[in-house]
Chain A
Amino acid sequence: SQQGEEDPQALSIQEGENATMNCSYKTSINNLQWYRQNSGRGLVHLILIRSNEREKHSGRLRVTLDTSKKSSSLLITASRAADTASYFCATDAGTSGSRLTFGEGTQLTVNP
């Protein structure tokens, strides 16, 4: 089954604006994580939210999780050109060392 579908697929904003990306999933999860990928590079972990949490903040990042709707959102406030990247949500089932299942990703472009 598909897991972690993001929308929008692409988002273009101006520097200083907020960017909101959404992720939906279909199966039960233990954690949901957001990763960032600069073009052609590796994945960088941004933030993890556990299934019993509803909201989490880290710097300019705010993540929400609604397990009843099986969805999460990532908000980047006061965006910068350097935030331009692809953003992926990833879920895991919670068993020891379980795999991450990634979504399709949102390509964010922040225009200076």
Chain B
Amino acid sequence: EPEVTQTPSHQVTQMGQEVILRCVPISNHLYFYWYRQILGQKVEFLVSFYNNEISEKSEIFDDQFSVERPDGSNFTLKIRSTKLEDSAMYFCASITTPVAHEAFFGQGTRLTVV
């Protein structure tokens, strides 16, 4: 069964460093998302991406965050200057078409900022 894959599964970084989280969505999917989950809290939407541009972003997704789909398969989330409070699980998700609503999630990247 097709699945969304994320790498790395765990990333430890120093505060102030840049990190790039990578995702390979399911190949025929058109909408891509990043969500995050701080330990013990609910899953929060960060950004959605469609047709090679951001379609929606939350208030969390400030200037230190960026997304891109550089090669038609990978979908990346970059955090330019990490803060301690960026420590969380980051999930990538994708859906097939604009009207489909069942999202397929990756296993997540656990980001630890020290």
Contacts and interface: CB of A to CB of B under 8 A. Distances in A.
B43 A31 contact: no
Contacts, number: 65
Interface residues of A, number: 25
B65 interface: no
A42 B91 CA distance: 7
A38 to B, nearest CB: 10
A41 interface: yes
Main secondary structure of the interface of B (DSSP, over half): strand
Interface of B: 4, 30-31, 33, 35, 41-45, 48, 50, 55-56, 58, 89, 91, 93, 95, 98-99, 101-108, 110
25 contacts: A30-B101, A31-B101, A33-B101, A40-B89, A40-B110, A42-B91, A42-B106, A42-B107, A43-B91, A45-B102, A48-B101, A88-B42, A92-B101, A97-B31, A97-B48, A97-B95, A99-B45, A99-B48, A100-B33, A100-B43, A100-B45, A100-B103, A101-B45, A102-B42, A105-B42
